[in-house]
Amino acid sequence: MPWITGRAPYARSAPIDGTSPHDIGSARACTGGLINREEERDMSDGEKIWVAQNGERSGPFPEGDVRQWLTEGRYDAQTLAWRKGMAEWAPLFSLFSERPAAATPPSPPPAAVFEAMDRPGFTHVLDEPTSAYRPPAEAPDADLPPAPSMHWGLVLLLGIVTMGIFTLVWPFIQANWVRKIDSESKATLWLGIGVGCLVVGEGMSVGNPGSALGGLLVLAYVVLFIVAYFAMAGSIRRKLADHGLPVEIGGVTLFFFNTLYLQGQLRWISRWQQTGTSHPKAPKGVFWLLWLPIVLLAILAAIAIPSYQNYVHRVQAMQQPSE
């Protein structure tokens, strides 16, 4: 592999006790002496393993699967591996003190090491060759609760169908997930107070349409609603950064498209939890396209309304009796 430098080459050797394709000395030479007896014992603890071959790294995979794939001949002598606790990438064969013996040495696999169905975990292709692999970012924490994965478009559709009721309920689901990752989040409290202000304000407006207090309560709902979403965004940025996922949430987009925009971010986080990949990025620009139909309707209204008014005036003038 042309981008791996600073390592002594190693060659195939006869199996040790009929189980290992490489002796410990050749593995230690390949990794610059970083593997010692203690580390060899640590490497058999069953932790998942990252694999790098042909400029691509994938994983993490359970140790049992990697051992099986070694037996099947899916890896060659150039395959590198890394798992938690290792200082750098090392030849895959050197991670195991023993390896199930195959009846006959299989021929090297073709360029594609895995089919898509064989690669269940995180997959990352290097953008350009580097002098050495760096340990990959840690996989999503299993203790992180699954984020709400509903598509933001479906949230919008349900909000329209339910005449806005769904868009009052869904923010509480989002805030509840944020509370799970940040116990200090006050977003649920702000939303609850805001909805209470909305209900009271609308109730006062029904009996007295010109009620100033009712209008102020509705305005308080809008302010608390926006404050709650900015609080959720701050919690997501802080807590997800601790898990190795930098989250970019634009303040202007959040202000105008709060529920839909944050749901786009949460669906992106959910995909990262399931696949380990953060590409492509969360949607952002598409929300501004939602203004396009509104702008077009405004233009059509500006043209059609005056024309309709002129038509009505002409009809009224024709219907008036002549003096």
80-93: pLDDT as tens digits: 888 777 778 888 77
pLDDT digits (tens, 9 = 90+) for 131-188: 444 444 455 666 789 999 999 999 999 999 999 999 999 999 999 999 999 999 999 9
Parent domain of 299: 289-315
Q: Let me know: does 77 contact 91? Beta carbons within 8 Å.
A: yes
Q: Which residue did the predictor score with more confidence, 320 or 136? A: 320
Distances (CA, A) of 262 to 22, 237, 255, 296: 51, 12, 10, 26
- pLDDT number for residue 321: 63
pLDDT band at 298 (very low <50, low <70, confident <90, very high): confident
pLDDT band at residue 5, thresholds of 50, 70 and 90?
very low
φ and ψ at residue 248, rounded to 5 degrees = -110, 115
Whether residues 302 and 243 share a domain: the answer is no
pLDDT at 200 over 90: yes
**pLDDT for the residue 194:** 96
Establish if 321 belongs to a structural domain.
no
Same domain, 69 and 42: yes
263 assigned to some structural domain: yes
Same domain, 226 and 275: yes
Q: CA-CA distance, 57 to 125, in Å (whole number)?
A: 6
Same domain, yes or no: 58 and 91: yes
* Residue where a domain stops, chosen among 125, 143, 171: 125
How many domains would you assign to the chain? 3
More confidently predicted of 53 and 114: 53
Q: What is the pLDDT of residue 77?
A: 65
Shortest CA distance to 262 belongs to which of 298, 230, 310?
230
125, 142, 176 — which closes off a domain? 125
Q: How many CA atoms lie within 13 A of 133 on its CB side?
A: 29
Residue percentage of the chain with pLDDT more than 90: 36
Q: Quick check: is 143 in a domain? A: no
Question: Is residue 279 domain-shared with residue 296, that is, in the same domain?
Answer: no
The answer to whether residue 8 scores a pLDDT higher than 50 is: no
Q: What is the pLDDT of residue 306?
A: 86
pLDDT score recorded for residue 75? 76
Q: Is 10 contained in some domain?
A: no
Using the predicted structure, report yes or no on whether residue 101 has a pLDDT greater than 90: no
Contact (CB, 8 A) for 82 and 133: yes
In a domain, 186, yes or no: yes
Looking at the structure, tell me whether residues 181 and 249 fall in a common domain.
Answer: yes
On the question of pLDDT at 38 being above 60, the answer is no
Taking the C-alpha atoms of residue 267 and residue 286, their distance in angstroms, rounded to an integer, is: 15
14: in domain? no
Whether residues 192 and 215 share a domain: the answer is: yes
The number of angstroms, rounded, from the C-alpha of 233 to the middle of its chain's C-alpha atoms is: 15
Q: State the average pLDDT over residues 307-311.
A: 84
Hey, which bits of 15-158 come out as E strands?
Answer: 49-53, 56-61, 80-82, 90-91, 122-125
**DSSP notation for 159-178:** HHHTTTHHHHHHHHHHHHHH
pLDDT of residue 29: 39
Task: Specify if 147 maps to a domain.
Answer: no
**pLDDT for the residue numbered 228:** 97
90 against 249, higher pLDDT: 249
Give the whole-angstrom CA distance, residue 212 versus residue 231: 29
What is the mean predicted confidence (pLDDT) over 253-274?
Answer: 95
Better pLDDT: 33 or 92: 92
> Is 12 contained in some domain?
no
Look up the pTM and report it: 0.53
User: Nearest Cα to 130, choosing from 92, 86, 88?
Assistant: 88
Same domain? For 160 and 231 the reply is: yes
Task: Dihedral sign for Cα 281, 285, 286, 288, please.
Answer: positive
Q: Are residues 100 and 215 in the same domain?
A: no
Q: Can you tell me the distance from the alpha carbon of 131 to that of 136, in angstroms, rounded to the nearest whole number? A: 15
For residues 161 and 267, membership in a common domain is answered with: yes
d(CA 223, CA 190): 9
What's the pLDDT tens digit per position in 265-293? Answer: 999 999 999 998 888 999 999 999 888 88
| 294, 278: one domain | no
Q: Give residue 146's pLDDT.
A: 94
Q: Are residues 121 and 197 in the same domain?
A: no
Q: With 60 as the cut, is the pLDDT of residue 34 above it?
A: no
